[in-house]
């Protein structure tokens, strides 16, 4: 039970906060510098030892598959033009999925819990990651690897946590938790979007978790909330109320949110300014244009 080789990546949401762009570009293909969000997510789970990725999709299966598969016609054209630099970029993307088994499950936008539930047959009884593509976590040790390390001994569901300033807490799921080790907590309660100034802690749920078969059992009997959705975090909350053990781990690293336009644009600027090839010129441009 200790090793985790599967990851669920929900992609079936409507991404209305990024309209009108997401009318034609799925949210997971919004760029950070010169790569889409999904590229960073695949890199993270592969580094964490994942060998099987399950995408929960709505209507964007083809674009996901197209991004990672070989493109012989394009490669031939680049070879004729002797563009080895661009061929190397394509090769990097193709190598990202080498050794991975990729599956697709269709779903409607009925909540992240509903999306995760659709993968039950593919996941079986194994523990697996749930990774959200609009949450990019920059860390020396990939966030998924951090959670996996804890799971090897805990063997219970684990939620990735980050500590945020008080003024931001009303937009997140906030946990009441008992600290039991360095960065490790036992979840006592989950409060969704508490009123400003009334949050019970500064620990919020980020877009990383490990689920077990018991979580799927709860999702199966979960009822839709007022939005008509089945929520994974609300399901975790119900499990805690029923006395089930759910752990939280305060992840090391920096959390770059991309779930709304403002946060995505900020994240884009950061990744562009720190790009290994273009970052120096981007920072020079920002300075010369007196953008800061």
Query: How many other C-beta atoms can be found within 10 angstroms of the C-beta atom of residue 229?
Result: 17
pTM, 2 dp: 0.91
Q: How many CB atoms are closer than 10 A to CB 139?
A: 15
Residue-level pLDDT at 264:
94
**Positions in the chain whose pLDDT score sits under 70:** 1-2, 60
pLDDT the model gives residue 170? 83
| Residue 22 maps to a domain | yes
| Within-domain flag for 1 | no
For residues 238 and 218, is the Cβ–Cβ distance under 8 A? yes
Distance CA 77, CA 79 (A): 5
Burial class (CB in 10 A: 0-12, 13-18, 19+), 113: buried
Please indicate, yes or no, if residue 229 is contained in any of the structural domains.
yes
CA atoms within 13 A on the CB side of 212: 19
By CB atoms closer than 10 A (0-12, 13-18, 19+), residue 292 is exposed
The number of distinct structural domains making up the chain is: 1
Identify whether 155 is part of a domain. Answer: yes
> Can you give the pLDDT at residue 273?
95
CA 44/CA 33 separation, integer angstroms: 17
What's the confidence (pLDDT) of residue 60?
A: 67
Burial 270-284 (b: 16+ CB within 10 A, else e): bbbbebeeeeeebee
Residue 162 lies in a domain: yes
Report if residue 75 sits inside a domain.
yes
The range of the structural domain enclosing residue 280 comes to 6-288
The CATH code of the domain that includes 134 is 3.90.550.10
pLDDT at 2: 62
Residue 228 belongs to some domain of the structure: yes
């Amino acid at each position: 039970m200790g090793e985790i080789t599967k990851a669920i990546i929900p992609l079936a949401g409507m991404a209305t906060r990024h309209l009108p762009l997401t009318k034609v570009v799925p949210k997971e293909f919004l760029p950070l510098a010169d790569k889409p969000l999904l590229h960073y997510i695949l890199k993270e789970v592969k580094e964490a030892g994942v060998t099987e990725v399950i995408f929960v999709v709505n209507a964007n299966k083809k674009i996901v598959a197209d991004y990672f598969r070989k493109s012989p016609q394009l490669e031939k054209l680049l070879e004729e033009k002797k563009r080895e630099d661009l061929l190397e970029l394509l090769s990097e993307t193709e190598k990202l999925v080498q050794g991975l088994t990729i599956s697709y499950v269709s779903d409607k936008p009925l909540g992240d819990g509903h999306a995760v539930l659709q993968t039950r047959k593919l996941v079986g009884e194994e523990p697996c990651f749930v990774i959200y593509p609009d949450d990019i976590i920059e860390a020396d040790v990939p966030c998924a690897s951090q959670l996996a390390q804890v799971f090897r001994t805990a063997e219970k569901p684990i939620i990735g946590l980050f500590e945020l300033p008080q003024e931001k807490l009303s937009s997140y799921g906030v946990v009441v938790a008992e600290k039991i080790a360095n960065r490790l907590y036992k979840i006592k309660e989950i409060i969704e979007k508490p009123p400003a100034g009334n949050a019970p802690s500064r620990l919020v749920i980020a877009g990383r978790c490990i689920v077990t078969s018991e979580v799927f059992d709860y999702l199966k009997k979960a009822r839709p909330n007022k939005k008509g959705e089945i929520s994974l975090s609300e399901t975790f909350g119900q499990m805690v109320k029923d006395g089930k053990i759910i752990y939280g781990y305060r992840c090391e690293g920096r959390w770059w949110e991309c779930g709304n336009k403002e946060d995505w644009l900020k994240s884009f600027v950061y990744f562009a300014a720190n790009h290994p090839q273009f970052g120096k010129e981007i920072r020079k441009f920002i300075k010369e244009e007196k953008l800061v």
